A and B are shown apart, each in its own frame.
Chain A
Amino acid sequence: MIVFEFLLNALAIGITFLYGSMGETITEKAGHLNLGIPGIMSVGSACGCAVLNVLCRDGCPVHPVLIVILALLATLAGGALMGLLYSFLAVSLRSNQNVTGLAMTIFGVGLAKFIFAKLEVDGVFYTRSTKYFRFPFANTTSSLQYIGILVFLGIALAIVSSVVLSRTRVGLHLRAVGESPATADAAGINVTKYKYIATIIGSAIAALGGLFYIVDFQGSQEAYLTVEAMGWLSVALVIFSTWRPYVSIFGSFVFGVLYILGSYLPSFGLKVDMATSNLIKTLPYVVTIIVLIITSIRNRPENQPPASLGVSYFREDR
């Protein structure tokens, strides 16, 4: 059954990338390249874990549902605040998006490490809450022991955001903003509003990936050290899935398989050393580059990033 466990674990780790890439995709659809995703995931998860730490300090006296909801809300709020900061810098002040994003990552990762270090001093209690993110009826023999509610929430959110992007007026307007803000502006769409809201919602969703990774998938107090890497993989997944949330459901699974393949090879009877196993973890980046090459060669506009990605919009520039 090792293969089954491997696949379930791949699905679970993939959900981290799914949240991150979904958030990034929504932001990029508004024309904003947000390289702050790793920082946003770090800060969001730090906020969630800080709340969990308080709630679970004395053996989790609060109702489990409330624990989960409060943790999710704190994570969403942390991510949204980071998104708001990014929007203010990149939309209102029209700062360079790459620089702003990288600064957000540097700032976010640092801030999160500070918060987690503080939690370690106070005593780590958030790891106790992992069980509340699983289904209560899933016992140790059920395959559901590996995949909790956030896995299903992630997939559901990806489907919903796909439908919103492709089938609704809001989605049409958002895509227009990312493709050609001047056209959207001329059509009476509030470009700034769309950019702000998409970035904030996207950042909040991405933050959930961080919380999922630390509390659910890893459930360990060292997990926060690797959230940043998850963030970068999420950004790569956006490119891999050619800016389509429903493709990223599949893409996140592929990334998950490739990411944990190295650590499972010994179980499959293949002897690999530590270095090789870590090298295998870079495979998601390799397949992303392959996808980039293929889509660049085929050069279909549908598979390209939103046309105004990375370009600040200023009405008077026309």
Chain B
Amino acid sequence: MTDPAEKTRDLTENANRPYALELKGVSKAFGSIQANYKVDLQLKHGEILALLGENGSGKTTLMNMVAGIYFPDEGQIFVDGEEVVIGSPRDAYKYKIGMIHQHFKLVDLFSAAENVVLGVNDGSRYSIKEVNERVRQIADRYGFNINPKDKIHEMSVSQKQTVEILKVLYRGAEILILDEPTAVLTPQETEVLFSVLRQMKADGKSIVIITHKLHEVLAISDRVAVLRKGEHIATVNTAESTESSLTEMMVGKKVSLNIDRTEPHDTAERLVVKGLSGHNPEGLKVLDDVSFTAFGGEILGIAGIAGSGQRELLEAVAGIYSPDEGEITYIEPKNGDRVNLRKKTPLQIRELGVRLSFVPEDRLGMGLVGSMDITDNVMLRSYRSGRTILLNRNDPKKLAEDIVRDLEVATPNLRTPVRRLSGGNVQKVLVGREIASAPSVLMAAYPVRGLDINSSYAIYNLLNDQKERGVAVIFVGEDLDVLIELCDRILVINSGRVTGIVDARTTDKETVGFLMTKSDDRPKSDERGGNS
């Protein structure tokens, strides 16, 4: 609603009202990690506020405290000027606050209306007909394209999201919080969502949209609150912001980490990826014409917002994910033979020396068996090489001992199931095992996520060691400071597309941050005008 007259009316109408939602000095820590620190935030009536920040900047945690999922360690929350205590999602609904989470909480077998009414007990007689009718009314009012009788399992992702929004509206929410609602949507679906949001705003609802996509912030929001490393940096009017000013606030000033970095030497082509494209099971394009070359003896960093295709890219190289088109060529370091990896099974690719370690979304699921001990997990990579039908446990045991000693894995003994180890120690076991196999390509995704400083440096040193030995290291990271100090080159991936490959020694955070968030499909000029 950029119609000036309308805007003025909105402003005068809401000028004397207290904020719809106000946070004062809200902090939250998980163990030693400070997720939010003394955050102040104001949400006006009838506005769309974008909450912007990098991965791990504390956006979702902050809003989860408003929605009653977490309880703040300190600070106050005010709704309509009155201080409130929100201890559960139920409390949040009492104050007319509803949050639409990134991961939908829906019963697949139920109809939309059944999901909407689930858990609502207003004392009235339960009649699915009346619920259908009420859901339809709400849907009509905001222009949702949904049939209350449709089953969730028959719906598209965007329809499921609509049901989540309906759930919140059905419970009478006046403040809606959407956690990265566009992450799962196609551009067209995003447009539809935005028009719904504008309609809800016109209806007087106050909306917080959590995002890290700059063009969406510019397209939909009235104001932007920027979080960085858990702290509130600034809240600015969207009209006065640009992509670059927001990027600067998001990434902040460079922090020096003093990671040792040697000049790469004896570099040789090791992995050539050309024109790789692919989609996910939902049919969204996750890789779009990705091309790059990884050299032995250097660390190639991959930077990008979470879910931009990093996982699929690594899995494609490892032979787990099968892309629609493109070439992946591996060059044998010994004799220079070129091998097409797309024709190989994951096992054959592994035997060539291409190793994938760390997929942290599922640390245990992808690489280790939680209920087995360190030795057995180490053996998972070698049991095929035995010569007798009985397992040879001595070598893996020795290797496990080496890993525990060299990487300082904190474990009571080698027989402890790995799921009892802390995250950092699990990661050390994983990387130790992969490195022990003397790889020629080592891919590590988020290897230091959740690790303390010392463990992180231990991992950096391991990667540097491998680089020294002539291994082509591919490092997917999220902390730009680390990427810039550790890597030799940085490939930036953005919505499945390579938006740039930069020299890590000469680049800066703003450049990488901008490449990560800029959009090739510039929002059409009329997008900010909406449908007014």
Contacts and interface: CB of A to CB of B under 8 A. Distances in A.
B481 to A, nearest CB: 31
A186 B105 contact: yes
Given A173-B119, A183-B118, A188 B110 contact: no
A168 interface: yes
Interface stretch (A59-67, A118-126, A174-182): A174-182
A182 B106 CA distance: 9
Interface string B83-121: 000001110000000000000011111100010011111
A172 B109 contact: no
B514 to A, nearest CB: 35
Chain B CB within 10 A, most for which of A168, A183, A301, A302:
A183
Contact of B110 (A168, A179, A182, A186): A179
A233 B90 CA distance: 43
B307 to A, nearest CB: 19
A111 interface: no
A176 B89 contact: no
A180 B107 contact: yes
B110 A176 contact: yes
A189 B109 contact: no
B108 A172 contact: no
B126 A189 contact: no
A183 B153 contact: no
B131 to A, nearest CB: 10
Contacts of A173: 118-119
A179 B107 contact: yes
Contact of B105 (A175, A183, A302): A183
Chain A CB within 10 A, most for which of B107, B126, B151:
B107
A174 to B, nearest CB: 11
A231 to B, nearest CB: 28
A172 B105 contact: no
Nearest to A168: B126
Contacts of A271: none
Contacts of B151: 301
Interface residues on B, range: 10 to 19
B30 to A, nearest CB: 13
A315 to B, nearest CB: 12
Chain A CB within 10 A, most for which of B108, B117, B118, B153:
B118
B118 A301 contact: no
B89 A186 contact: yes
A167 B131 CA distance: 12
Contacts of B121: 169
A189 B88 CA distance: 12
A273 to B, nearest CB: 47
Interface string A149-177: 00000000000000000011100110110
Contacts of A169: 121, 126
B90 A172 contact: no
A266 B298 CA distance: 86
A176 B107 contact: yes
B89 A175 contact: no
B109 A307 contact: yes
B101 to A, nearest CB: 9
Nearest to B69: A186
Contacts of A229: none
B118 A187 contact: yes
Contact of B119 (A168, A187, A307): A187
Nearest to A183: B105
Contact of B118 (A167, A168, A189, A307): A189
A179 B108 contact: yes
A173 B106 CA distance: 13
A234 B405 CA distance: 57
B526 to A, nearest CB: 38
A176 B118 CA distance: 8
Contacts of A168: 126
Interface string A180-200: 101110111100000000000
A180 B88 CA distance: 19
B176 to A, nearest CB: 16
A172 B126 contact: yes
Contact of B108 (A167, A187, A307): A307
Chain A CB within 10 A, most for which of B106, B109, B117, B128:
B109
Nearest to A172: B114
Contacts of A182: 105
A242 to B, nearest CB: 12
A105 to B, nearest CB: 27
A63 B314 CA distance: 78
A167 to B, nearest CB: 8
Contacts of B109: 175, 179, 301-302, 307
Given A168-B126, A172-B126, A188-B89, A180 B119 contact: no
A184 B118 contact: yes
B108 A189 contact: no
B135 to A, nearest CB: 14
A184 B115 CA distance: 10
B108 A180 contact: yes
B39 to A, nearest CB: 24
A11 to B, nearest CB: 32
A168 B89 CA distance: 24
A109 B114 CA distance: 40
A173 B120 CA distance: 10
A176 B119 CA distance: 9
A175 to B, nearest CB: 7
A278 B126 CA distance: 49
Interface string B387-427: 00000000000000000000000000000000000000000
Contacts of B108: 179-180, 301, 307
Contact of A188 (B90, B117, B126): B90
Interface in A206-255: none
Nearest to B121: A169
A118 to B, nearest CB: 44
Contacts of A307: 108-109
Contacts of B120: 187
Contacts of A189: 118-119
Given A176-B110, A179-B108, A302-B109, A188 B119 contact: yes
Contacts of B89: 186, 188
B153 A172 contact: no
Nearest to B118: A187
A148 to B, nearest CB: 35
A176 B115 CA distance: 9
Contacts of B88: 188
A157 to B, nearest CB: 21
A60 to B, nearest CB: 45
B274 to A, nearest CB: 39
Chain A CB within 10 A, most for which of B88, B89, B105, B120:
B105
Contacts of B106: 180, 183
A302 B119 CA distance: 21
Interface string A286-318: 000000000000000110000100000000000
Contacts of B117: 172
A275 B117 CA distance: 55
Q: Which 7 A-B pairs have the closest CB atoms?
A: A187-B119, A169-B126, A183-B105, A188-B119, A179-B107, A187-B118, A186-B105
29 contacts: A168-B126, A169-B121, A169-B126, A172-B114, A172-B117, A172-B118, A173-B118, A173-B119, A175-B109, A175-B110, A176-B107, A176-B118, A176-B119, A179-B109, A179-B110, A180-B105, A180-B107, A182-B105, A183-B106, A183-B107, A184-B107, A186-B89, A186-B119, A188-B89, A188-B119, A189-B118, A301-B108, A301-B151, A307-B108
Given A167-B128, A183-B118, 7 more contacts: A167-B126, A173-B119, A180-B105, A180-B107, A187-B105, A188-B119, A301-B153
